[in-house]
Amino acid sequence: MIQLAVEEVTLQFGGVVALRDVNLQVEQGAIHAIIGPNGAGKTSLLNCISRLYHPTQGRIFFEGRDLTTFHPHKIAELGIARSFQNIELFRGMTVLDNLMLGRHVHLRSGVLSGGFYWGKSQREEIAHRAIVEDIIDFLEIEAIRKKTVGTLAYGLQKRVELGRALALEPRLLLLDEPMAGMNVEEKEDMARFILDINEERGITVALIEHDMGVVMDISDEVTVLDFGQIIGQGTPEEVRSDPNVISAYLGEQEVTFRPI
Amino acid sequence: MQSGIFHASYQKDMAFRHTPAQFIRLGLVLAFALIFPFLANNYYLTLANQIGVAAIGAIGLNLLTGFTGQISLGQGAFMAVGAYSSGLMAARLGLPWFVTIPLACLITAMVGALFGVPSLRLKGLYLAIATLAAQQIIEWLITHWDALTGGVEALVVPAPTLFGSAINTDFRFYWIILICLIGTTLFASNLLRSKVGRAFVAIRDQDIAAEVMGVNLFRYKLTAFAVSSFFVGLSGALTAHYRTIISWERFTLETSILFLAMIIIGGLGSISGSIYGAAFMTLLPAILSNLGRGLEDFVPAMARLIPFLQQAAFGLVIILFLIFEPEGIAKLWRDVKDYFRLWPFSY
């Protein structure tokens, strides 16, 4: 089943065309990688899906609903979570609070019930804390749960950001370069988390990544963007041997991929 | 040595206080607050009441500026809305104070939310200028809408009464202020550990990420303005009934800046810091004028110099805090506690 369908999306900033007639379909339960050189429009595409940008033309359907008609904050309620290329965590909050904020759309308390913190509101906090603790266990960040996020190392911050997105309990997870700037062990950990999220929790993952080894290893489907246009699409094997992709993205010379 | 604080249930882990020492400290503070009015003379009671009223207003402003990151220069005007709406209802309609004060808080909350609308589009300094407009508009309305407010004339507010006796002394008013301050502190602290409070802080730290995680920015910014103004209105309404005579001069831009100084010195994003800041900024002028009076015998020119010295000290303190402890008195106090936790072997 197609979960996410990007149809004929064009995004223009004045005269600059960031995306041109992009068509993309993400299968439910798949790990779908979007690759391409810098400035190809990958992040712009993700921003269109999470409604930070409004496409000039075209529509985006998620489980049959047209995302372009929703406000940005409604996208989370529909079941789409994302992480950012440059970590966009709440730096002054603890890891726990960051993850609890991920539960925002599931929490019901308002100003009054929160301010008095009696009965129902307190029980709600505790119930959701248990869910968040599950995610903390899963991501192996128990030791830092009370630390302020701004003080954490880069690799851990990336993990916390993944945790915050998971706390939303999304059906589609958008990851913008989840492994950028990481060393090999950290990348292996992150790849393992992404695979587990996909298999155990059944969450569809759409990710942007530059590390070809990782992309070819974990993804079911790969889309290649260049200058705002899709130049190749298919399984990792198909994309790897696509002459368009090789010439446009990887250079004219023949390149061999080596998994890490 | 202590290696951390661990709990067996989430409820205990999410409580405000964890160790016996914290409960003892709270008990001591409360006991002091209860005994203090019986020991203090009128001068110290007046100071305590001023601190209490200022602390409520500072907590309100800190909710908006310290926690939600929306700078407001309209504090004075919002206090005026609280003071005038409560004062007018009491003076003109003869309503009792325990009705007018909550109503005044609600009115201020609505006015605050209205002037918070620009915050959807404006951030930082630009928003500060928009709230400055709120300050000027409200000030202008108070001084020019003679039929309602009495214009530049002072407004006389009847002293509050309870069970037939007038609450017209510092000693009696102390209890009202204490109850309001405790209520405000509890409500604000609870709010900040629940959904709405987390959304406030998320907006301050990274508004786009907050929106992507499902926080409705407009709604929560307006909520922040409303909740903040509610307590600022409470502070203004208490001022009106405590002073029993108010005029617009008490609620100018200078007041707004004084309150900003309170929360910067006390600690942005800290409830207890708001109280420390309010106490500090109320006590500083009092201490300086006492000091000046003491020095008058040696330096005759002192009496003339005191007002200038107060201004200079005010500016100096803000600069020193910004340089040496940008996180304010709340951080200083945390450092002291951390030091003594490991004392005498601090390694």
* Per-residue model confidence (pLDDT) at position B227: 97
Q: Which residues of B touch A (CB under 8 A)?
A: 10-11, 14, 187-188, 190-191, 193-199, 201-202, 204-206, 208-217, 223, 227, 269
* Per-residue model confidence (pLDDT) at position A254: 53
How many Å lie between the alpha carbon of A71 and the closest alpha carbon of chain B?
9
What Cα–Cα distance (Å) separates residue A42 from each residue in A225, B90, B207?
7, 63, 22
pLDDT band (50, 70, 90) for residue A37: confident
* Per-residue model confidence (pLDDT) at position A250: 59
Q: Provide mean pLDDT across the span A176-195.
A: 93
Say if the Cβ atoms of B212 and A75 lie within 8 Å.
yes
Which tokens in the block code for residue B301?
């020119």
pLDDT band (50, 70, 90) for residue B210: very high
Which range among A250-254, B223-227, B282-286 has the greatest average pLDDT? B223-227
* Per-residue model confidence (pLDDT) at position A1: 87
Considering only the beta carbons, identify the residue of A100, A110, A121 that sits closest to B198.
Answer: A100
* Per-residue model confidence (pLDDT) at position B83: 96
* Per-residue model confidence (pLDDT) at position A258: 63
The rounded percent of chain A whose pLDDT value lies above 70 is 95
Say if the Cβ atoms of A88 and B223 lie within 8 Å.
no
Q: Provide mean pLDDT across the span B331-338.
A: 87
pLDDT band (50, 70, 90) for residue A4: very high
Q: What is the dihedral of CA A101, A107, A110, A116, to 10 degrees?
A: -90
Torsional class of B270: left (φ above 0), alpha (ψ -120 to 50), beta (otherwise): beta
Q: Are A75 and A150 in contact (CB under 8 A)?
A: no
> By C-alpha distance, which of B116, B58, B111 is closest to B81?
B111
Residues of B with Cβ-Cβ distance to A114 under 8 angstroms: 190-191, 194-197
A6 forms bridges with which residues in the sheet?
A: A24, A60
For A48-106, write each residue's pLDDT tens digit. 999 999 999 999 999 999 999 999 999 999 999 999 999 999 999 999 999 999 999 99
With a cut of 90, say whether residue A118 has pLDDT above it.
Answer: no
B340 compared with B73, residue with greater pLDDT:
B73
With a cut of 70, say whether residue A42 has pLDDT above it.
Answer: yes
Q: Provide mean pLDDT across the span B312-340.
A: 86
Which tokens in the block code for residue B304?
């003339």
Residues of A with Cβ-Cβ distance to B269 under 8 angstroms: 92
pLDDT band (50, 70, 90) for residue A23: very high
* B22 three-state secondary structure: helix
Say if the Cβ atoms of A104 and B199 lie within 8 Å.
yes
Which tokens in the block code for residue A247?
């010439």
Say if the Cβ atoms of B208 and A100 lie within 8 Å.
no
> By C-alpha distance, which of A202, A174, A171, A164 is closest to A78?
A171
Q: Provide mean pLDDT across the span B247-268.
A: 93
Interface test with B, best of A90, A94, A105, A125 (most B CBs within 10 A): A90
For B24-81, write each residue's pLDDT tens digit. 999 999 999 999 999 999 999 999 999 999 999 999 999 999 999 999 999 999 999 9
For chain A, the residue count is 260
* Per-residue model confidence (pLDDT) at position B305: 78
Say if the Cβ atoms of A77 and B214 lie within 8 Å.
yes
With a cut of 90, say whether residue B300 has pLDDT above it.
Answer: no
Interface test with A, best of B13, B110, B208, B212 (most A CBs within 10 A): B212
pLDDT band (50, 70, 90) for residue B347: low
Interface test with A, best of B187, B213, B334 (most A CBs within 10 A): B213
Q: How far apart are CA A80 and CA A83, in angstroms?
A: 11
Q: Provide mean pLDDT across the span B229-241.
A: 96
The rounded percent of chain B whose pLDDT value lies above 90 is 64
Which tokens in the block code for residue A54?
């409004």
pLDDT band (50, 70, 90) for residue B267: very high
For B132-173, write each residue's pLDDT tens digit. 999 999 999 999 998 888 888 889 998 888 887 788 888 999
With a cut of 90, say whether residue B9 has pLDDT above it.
Answer: no
With a cut of 60, say whether residue A181 has pLDDT above it.
Answer: yes
Q: Chain A residue closest to B205 (CA)?
A: A90
- Say how many CB pairs under 8 Å bridge A and B: 107
Which tokens in the block code for residue A83?
């992480």
With a cut of 80, say whether residue B299 has pLDDT above it.
Answer: no
Rounded mean pLDDT of chain B?
90
Q: Provide mean pLDDT across the span A211-240.
A: 92
Residue by residue, DSSP assigns B276-295 as: HHHHHHHHHHHHHHHHHHHH
Residue A102 near chain B (CB below 8 Å): yes
With a cut of 90, say whether residue B312 has pLDDT above it.
Answer: no
Q: Provide mean pLDDT across the span B283-290.
A: 86
* Per-residue model confidence (pLDDT) at position A260: 57
* Per-residue model confidence (pLDDT) at position A220: 95
Which tokens in the block code for residue B57?
């207003």
* Per-residue model confidence (pLDDT) at position A249: 64
Lowest mean pLDDT among A118-127, A193-202, B27-36, B235-244: A118-127
Could you tell me the domains of chain A? Answer: 1-79+170-260 (3.40.50.300), 95-163 (no CATH)
Backbone angles phi, psi at B315, to 5 degrees: -65, -45
